[in-house]
Chains A and B, each alone.
Chain A
Amino acid sequence: MNDKLREVLQAPVTGKGDLIPLLQKAQEAEGYVSEEAIYAIAEKLRIPASEVFGVLSFYAQFRLRPMGKHNVKICRGTACHVRGSPLIVTAVESELQLSGEDTTPDGLFTVEKIACFGACSLAPVMVVDGRTYGNLSPDKARRLIRKTAEEDHV
């Protein structure tokens, strides 16, 4: 168990209403919600681990696998959709050879599809490692991924 997670688990709780905030903090500490965290949270709140799992699997925010080193978020809002975001998704996924899973086998990239960033005037939009790139074309998106991967190898 890492120190950050231990710290999260030491904070006082008042009841079941603390379950989701605890899961959020655990994910912040580890980058995902580990099996270890699930059992520890269950014990802390005195509820079955199955209930913790039931709640976390309901919400899109929680991950059960570690995040890749680079985080790519593609906006799938309506404005981005009508301005071509399906083509961006295809381009990024084919560039990283992803089919179905969201993280590359080497753990370098995680690709997420987000409901809306609200940067609609820049549609279609993609966020790479916290930085927003707008008015994308499939070609620009591919090059951005390649550039991010190359910089990593330098």
Chain B
Amino acid sequence: MYSDYASLRAWAESEIARTRPPDRTRILVGLGTCGIAAGGLDVLAALREKLADMPVSAEIVPVGCIGMCFEEPLVDIVRPGEPRICYAKVTPKSIPTILEEHLLHDNVRKDLAFAVIGDEPYDGIPAWKQLPFFATQRRTVLRNCGFIDPESVAEYIVRDGYAALAKALFEMTPEAVIEEVKRSGLRGRGGAGFPTGMKWGFCRQSPGEHKYVICNADEGDPGAFMNRSVLEGDPHSVLEGLLIAAYAIGADHGYIYCRAEYPLAIVRLRKALEQARALGLLGEHIFGTDFSFDVTIKEGAGAFVCGEETALMASIEGKRGMPRPRPPFPAQKGLWGQPTNINNVETLNNIPPIILNGADWFASVGTEKSKGTKTFALTGKVVNSSLIEVPFGMTLREVIFGVGGGIANGRQFKAAQTGGPSGGCLSSEHLDWPIDYETLTKAGSIMGSGGLVVMDDSTCMVDVARFFLNFTQSESCGKCIPCRLGTKRMLEILERIVAGQGKMEDIDLLLELGETVKLGSLCGLGQTAPNPVLSTIRYFRDEYEAHIKEHRCPARVCKALITYRISEEKCTGCTLCARNCPVNAISGERKKVHVIDPAVCTRCDTCRQVCNFDAVLVE
């Protein structure tokens, strides 16, 4: 129990000195969900095995995601007095070489090392900020991800962790905290972009016996994992943000509503709560003050609509997660009928640095109306699939071609999808538009929570629209008829179009239905569900028309509109395709040109992928 920040900090420093002698080498392994998926655990096992028979004393530290998914698995070595050297795409096989060379022969292998995670280059290895991927990024939300052991509260504290909470409790009134957040210009990072300080102010002013704060960690967009990386890599910062929100609003209890599909995030959150309780940072009389607050973790049970505030609260109350009309707003009558404030993970994560460094510091980054930075899960047909954080106002081109390294496999950029199923597709005409809340809305998309999926000329935009609508249609809770039936009818029309059975009237019908669904739905899900369809019709109408008028899929994706054929010039008669065809649709003798029977072919693409001579053509 600490009644001031200095003694808490002293405890953390002594704790680190005790467990971590300064003369010992540290080896950091990226073990977020992404690192584990890429084989991080096998690398960890190889590391342990090799270290056991080496005459060096080194400590292995599992860390969160630094964002370079495209270079996973990552292993970083920090020797006393030397910079942190990052090795990328490490395999169990390359571990012995890396360790022996680096630790025994003082030879940092330039061919294996990826970058120095530090300010200066080292021995010909570039500093990370010199790499195009990191050069224009600015890490506020991700400040600790990949730098600290997420399960060590001491490591969080020595990087100024809980200093903002102490500052708020000892030096600021709740009103002053709200004022600071208002002045910072921070807007909700869950998607809608409502000013956070204002939201807090409404909740503070609402009378109520109890007040609640909720952290919305129900990240459900397919193609988005920003919140997960933060929860896994820096759970205490989310908790600190929630604590400050609770103090500002006057809440005595909080909930973190986290997707059950994020088991690692939940484990780390639970651990963080335990550690905070043990240090008196959670529970009765926090830091010895009159402020008491505790947190319960609720696991979401898999319903996309529960990302919506009122549906989320219904779910915590043990009901079907269906939204209700507003007003009353959650700030007036929320969870259990009491004033409630809900913020997204990333919003809360921004709070400690704002309190610590001031509103002006935060507002100095970004555009006039969109302040600060935004994390994006940059994925799809981009070279650097990654988790990034950039200042608002950066152009789409700078993000995709600068940070993202351009389009994979040398193909052409076609579209960028933001905002997930609620967002829209932007075309090449938007490449030089700045990324901020207003600009994206003007372009027919939304900021959303930060999914940014890049599409190339082999992506069919009608198919993408159908993909998102298929998702929202099955996730519609069914309360509002325009959403329940409208999305269903829109999906049926899109299915007709991709099957080559569309009519030209269908496009107008989609537009009309889309507007009706937007207008006639209570919550964000229905109000935005038509966006992927409307925006693709707006910018890629020619693709819709090609499907309808010419029965042709320009990207050669829609199965009903394509045929597979083997090129007579290129086929060498190797029989590989025929042997791999799961439905025996390919015939031909060895060393003779093979033929695909279109009546039997299921267009599964196996033959094209296995062919070594690019002889399988899709037409």
A binds B: yes
A interface residue numbers (CB < 8 A to B): 15-21, 23-24, 54-55, 58-62, 76-79, 81-84, 87, 90-91, 94-95, 114-123, 125, 132, 134, 137-139, 142
Which of B38, B319, B582 is within 8 Å of A94, CB to CB? B582
Complex contacts, A24 vs chain B, CB 8 Å: 260, 299, 301
Contact among A19, A20, A21, A139 with B609 in the assembled complex (CB-CB below 8 Å)? A139
Q: CB distance B606 to A137 under 8 Å?
A: yes
Provide the bound-state CA to CA distance between A95 and B606, in Å: 13
Q: Which of B127-135, B145-153, B188-196, B222-230 participates in binding chain A?
A: B222-230
Of A18, A20, A83, A137, the contact of B315 (CB 8 Å cutoff): A20
Chain A contact residues, majority secondary structure: helix
Contacts of A17 in B (CB 8 A): 316-318
Cβ-closest chain B residue relative to A59? B301
With A90-B602, A114-B261, A121-B34 already in contact, the answer to whether A59 and B303 are too (CB < 8 A) is yes
**Known A-B contacts A115-B471, A117-B33, A134-B38; A78 and B223 likewise in contact (beta carbons under 8 Å):** yes
| Given A58-B303, A122-B37: A91 touches B609 (CB 8 Å cut-off) | no
Interface string of B193-236 (1 = CB under 8 A from A): 00000000000000000000000000011111100110000000
How many angstroms from the CA of A81 to the CA of B460 in the assembled complex? 11
Residues of B within 8 A of A132 (CB): 36-38
User: With contacts A116-B222, A120-B69, A121-B379 known, is A138 near B301, CB below 8 A?
Assistant: no
Asked if B375 CB lies within 8 Å of chain A CBs, one says no
Q: Are A121's CB and B582's CB within 8 A?
A: no
B: contact size bracket = 35 or more
Give the distance in Å from the alpha carbon of A30 to the alpha carbon of B28 in the complex. Answer: 38
Instruction: Please tell me which stretch of B276-284, B451-459, B593-601 contacts chain A, meaning at least 4 of its Cβ atoms lie within 8 angstroms of it.
Output: B451-459
Q: Kindly identify which residue among B72, B228, B477, B605 contacts A118, using a CB–CB cutoff of 8 Å.
A: B228
Interface string of B449-493 (1 = CB under 8 A from A): 001010100010000100110010000010000000000000000
Cβ–Cβ contact A137 & B37, under 8 A: no
B428 sits at the interface (CB 8 A): no
Q: Which of A61, A77, A137 contacts B301 (CB 8 A)?
A: A61
Assess whether A115 is in contact with B220, with CB atoms less than 8 Å apart. yes
Query: Is B552 part of the binding interface, using a Cβ–Cβ cutoff of 8 Å?
Result: no
Please give, as numbers and ranges, the residues of chain A lying within 8 Å of B33 by CB-CB distance: 117-119
Contact, CB under 8 Å: B302 / A59: yes
A-B contact pairs, 19 of them (CB 8 A): A55-B319, A58-B477, A59-B301, A59-B302, A60-B302, A61-B260, A78-B223, A78-B451, A82-B380, A82-B381, A94-B604, A115-B471, A118-B224, A120-B225, A121-B385, A122-B37, A138-B582, A138-B609, A139-B609
Q: Cβ of A91: which chain B residues have Cβ within 8 Å of it?
A: 582, 604, 606
The answer to whether B223 touches A120 (Cβ under 8 A) is yes
Write out the residue numbers on chain A whose beta carbons fall within 8 Å of the beta carbon of B302: 59-61
Residue B70 lies at the interface, judged by CB distance under 8 Å to chain A: yes
CB distance from A40 to the nearest CB of B (A): 16
Q: Name the B residues within 8 Å of A119 (CB-CB).
A: 33-34, 37-38, 69
Given contacts A21-B299, A55-B320, A60-B303, contact A78 B417 (CB under 8 A): yes
Task: Knowing A24-B301, A91-B582, A121-B386 are in contact, say whether A116-B221 is a contact too (CB < 8 A).
Answer: yes
Which B residues are in CB contact (< 8 Å) with A62? 301
Name which residue of chain A comes closest to B605, CB basis. Answer: A87
Within the complex, the shortest CB–CB distance from B601 to chain A, in Å, comes to 13
The yes or no answer to B435 lying at the interface (CB within 8 A) is no
Known: A21-B299, A24-B260, A58-B321. 19 other contacts (CB 8 A): A17-B316, A17-B318, A20-B301, A20-B315, A21-B298, A24-B301, A58-B320, A59-B301, A61-B260, A78-B222, A78-B420, A79-B453, A82-B464, A83-B380, A116-B222, A116-B224, A118-B225, A119-B33, A137-B609
A54 to B315 Cα, complex, angstroms: 12
Q: Which of B566-619 contact A (CB under 8 A)?
A: 580, 582, 602, 604-606, 609-610
